[in-house]
Structure 1
Amino acid sequence: MAARTEPNPIPSVWARQRREPDQPSLSRDAIVREAIAVLDADGIEALSMRKLGARLNAGATSLYRHVATKDELMELAVDEVAAEIRVPPAGSPDWRAAAAETAHAFRATALRHPWLSTVMGQAGLAYLGPNLMALNERLAALFVETGFPDPEGAISALLAYVIGMSTTEAAWLTTVARSGQTEAEFVARLLPAAQQAAAEHSNLAASYASTADPARQREAKFDYGLDVVLDGLAQRLPR
């Protein structure tokens, strides 16, 4: 009698039983680590199961024993780097400082892995991964302990801001990296054209007045928007 199969399996790597490695040097963890190295260096377009197999000296068939599709591989990669995001423990005396620390940790992780923010909403059911679930659990504990009437809404608002800003920032830094110049050099080269375009708009002209420390300027913009989000969340707390 043929074995029964589930008619509509959940399309996620987290819903499948993990297989044992078919060779000592090849494991799912090794595959994910190598995939992240490719993603960090060359972006999503450069990642393929065939190329990954070649880098690991393994055939595509061996990889498919551990990861069925590229979508599953992206789920695993997203969850792996999510472990780098630190959330202060619940009961922190200053919820704003704890939320800001989390936001900065997320931003730093997203800038180390420029592909992360763009695939957060596309990597299948990545939120089922243990690291992302732990991240959300710690954030929920923080906002519940603080007394937010809608902790999930607070989490969504905070993460939507961070992911949105990080996506734009990571795309900008990728463009800079491809130019072969430092960020300051790249901005200095663009500055004359930007100043000319903004010359008739006094409110914009001030934004292009200097190339001094563009990294600090990016962080200042992030902090400003983060303060606005946290100010809004604070209004939701019971008085």
Structure 2
Amino acid sequence: MTKQFSSVWLREARPAKSTGRSRDEIVRAAVELLDADGLDGLSMRRLGAKLSAGATSLYWYVANKDELLELVYDEVWGEMRLPDPTETTWRATASVFAHSMRRLILRHPWTTRLIGRLPALGPNALGAADTLRRSFHLAGFEGLEIDYANTTLTSFVFGITIPEVAWTQAMAETAYHEDSMREAVALLAADYPDLASRMNEVHSADTDAVREMAFSFGLGAVLDGLAARLIT
């Protein structure tokens, strides 16, 4: 049995109560809780306590927790600062979009659990998506190719960034000793000398720098591929 789709964005935002918090204050406080404690640490009760307000008063603005998540999800997408696609090249717009999206996800790792689960229908998310769409249109992509180019770029960002977040969180939770991990990897990769050599070189480098370079390398390959599609 299907049910009617609902979204906080389908109705006008209610004005703040004279004795209550505004919706913007509630959303900012929710983002702070999520950044500190993750998705499992957010509840209407905890949010109400943080704001020194009863949890029931929050329902003046949202019908349920999912609607609150819609608001915070769009709030963080508003951190993206994208160029006007009519004033620069499509590659420059796509590159800024990709790097900005990656930084956003790394700043707010809880978003990885909402990607693909919660529709991004707020004005910030839709505005960013439209900017990227227009840049691909100006580049020469047409029809569904614009959507395919969009999907290709965002899939690359999600595909390389979400595992990075998951690994970082796993390492924080397990607190493995770094030297013991390297010794284990060296032992298990002993039969693959070339691979072991590459692992040693990567492990000896700055992790954040390696990840940033890997992202830039992959992004360049994706953009080169899209550029080739325009030529053929």
Contact in 1 for aligned 2:90/2:135 (Cα 8 Å) = yes
Tell me which of 140, 145, 165 is aligned to 1:147.
140
2:182 equivalent in structure 1: 191
Report the alpha carbon displacement of residue 200 of structure 1 after superposing the two structures with TM: 1.3
- 1:26-105, aligned counterparts within 5 Å? 26-105=21-100
Report the alpha carbon displacement of residue 13 of structure 1 after superposing the two structures with TM: 0.6
Size of the alignment, in residue pairs? 226
Contact in 2 for aligned 1:107/1:162 (Cα 8 Å) = yes
Matched residues in 2 for 1:177 and 1:23: separation? Answer: 43
Matched residues in 1 for 2:15 and 2:207: separation? Answer: 48
Matched residues in 2 for 1:86 and 1:188: separation? Answer: 39
Tell me which of 106, 109, 113 is aligned to 2:108.
113
Contact in 2 for aligned 1:38/1:47 (Cα 8 Å) = yes
Tell me which of 122, 125, 140 is aligned to 1:129.
122
Matched residues in 1 for 2:157 and 2:224: separation? Answer: 15
Which ranges in structure 1 are unaligned for 5 or more consecutive residues?
Answer: 1-7
Matched residues in 2 for 1:67 and 1:121: separation? Answer: 21
Report the alpha carbon displacement of residue 215 of structure 1 after superposing the two structures with TM: 0.6
2:151 maps to 1:138: no
2:5 maps to 1:14: no
Coordinate RMSD, CA, aligned: 2.1
> Percent identity among equivalent residues?
42
Which ranges in structure 2 are unaligned for 5 or more consecutive residues?
Answer: none
Matched residues in 2 for 1:219 and 1:231: separation? Answer: 18
Report the alpha carbon displacement of residue 96 of structure 1 after superposing the two structures with TM: 2.1
1:202 equivalent in structure 2: 193
2:229 maps to 1:236: yes
TM-score (norm 1): 0.86
Matched residues in 2 for 1:194 and 1:25: separation? Answer: 55
Contact in 2 for aligned 1:92/1:98 (Cα 8 Å) = no
1:213 equivalent in structure 2: 206
